[in-house]
Amino acid sequence: QELLTEALHKNALKEGDEAFARGNYSVAIAQYEEAQEIRSSPAITERISEARRAEAEQRKQAEVSNFRYACGSVGKVESWARSCTALYNELARKGERGQAATWDEVEAVAQCEEQKKKGCIECSIAGGFFACKSLAPLEPATRNLACIRRGEQLFEAIVRRYPQTQMTWWGWGSSASTALILPRREWNRLSKKDKVSLAGYVEYKVGGSSWTIIVGDPVDSHDLTIDKTVVQSDDLWESGDPCCRGEKGSVFFGSVPNCG
């Protein structure tokens, strides 16, 4: 038994070190924590702290790069803000004169609205005119992208430890959805923000369709029991049996303002 414990301990440390070297800090943290559960030591505690510091810096860089991916350079965003402001002001003046917008202007409004959805610019009505401004790179709307990426990393880490974890079609009729089925132990060990990130990744993968996250316990190397729904999309929550539904998606996401 002691030899088996030692082998598991060494393997968890080895996989943690390899993940750290690859820059996959979420996996490294999980492996170090697993090693810590087997046998605690100050050295492992320091490895966990170092991996968390590296992960925090990685997240910070990801937030900036995600902003640039979604919105373009800061200069481009400021250009969008200026052009959309000018467009809305011109349409307001046309409205006062009783003139209709041209087809090109309608198309331009649609593009401005798309930029607003991305969180790249923010518009409000002031004095009868629209005023637009660019958003700073670390506003919540851009952090969502970082959280989705974090959720993807968590999903990959869990699948590595438990290949039984899967996204699959679940249910039938109006209650059918894409379900992430994962071990209860893995879900319980996540922080609230990481749970929200994982749920956000599931929602992103299904593209706005119905989704649910279910936990169970491993039966063997291929299967998990189906024990409990922990969170699900609003439509499933609203139509589901109160006895068996999980948390409502919108409420769940709202519990972590910078990620939901």
Share above pLDDT 90 across residues of the chain, in percent, rounded to a whole number:
28
pLDDT of residue 141: 36
Q: Which residues contact 33 (CB under 8 A, 6 or more apart)?
A: 48, 189
Q: Which residues contact 113 (CB under 8 A, 6 or more apart)?
A: none
Average pLDDT across the chain, whole number: 79
Mean pLDDT of 74-92: 73
Task: Find the distance separating the first CA and the last CA of the chain, reported in whole Å.
Answer: 44
Mean pLDDT of 186-206: 89
How many Cα atoms are found within 13 Å in the side-chain-facing hemisphere of 234?
6
Task: Name the token pair of 136.
Answer: 């700073």
Inform me whether the pLDDT recorded for 142 exceeds 50.
Answer: no
- Categorize the per-residue pLDDT at 130 as very low, low, confident or very high, splitting at 50, 70 and 90: low
Task: Name the token pair of 192.
Answer: 């609230």
CB atoms inside a 10 Å sphere around CB 124: 9
Residue 21 or 59, more confident = 21
pLDDT of residue 133: 66
**122: β partners:** 133
Mean pLDDT of 46-55: 92
How many Cα atoms are found within 13 Å in the side-chain-facing hemisphere of 113?
6
Across 65-98, b (16+ Cβ under 10 Å) vs e yields: ebbeebbeeeeebeebbebbbebbeebeeeeeee
Across 197-219, b (16+ Cβ under 10 Å) vs e yields: bbbbbbbbbbeeebbbbbbbebe
Taking only Cα atoms into account, the Rg of the chain, rounded to an integer number of angstroms, comes to 23
pLDDT of residue 32: 93
Taking the model in full, what pTM does it have? 0.47
Inform me whether the pLDDT recorded for 137 exceeds 50.
Answer: no
pLDDT of residue 17: 93
Inform me whether the pLDDT recorded for 99 exceeds 90.
Answer: no
Q: Lowest-pLDDT range, 5-19, 184-198, 211-225, 237-251?
A: 211-225
Amino acid at 233: S
At residue 119, φ and ψ (nearest 5 deg) are 85, 15
pLDDT of residue 195: 94
The sign of the dihedral angle between the CA atoms of 42, 47, 52, 53 is positive
Mean pLDDT of 220-235: 82
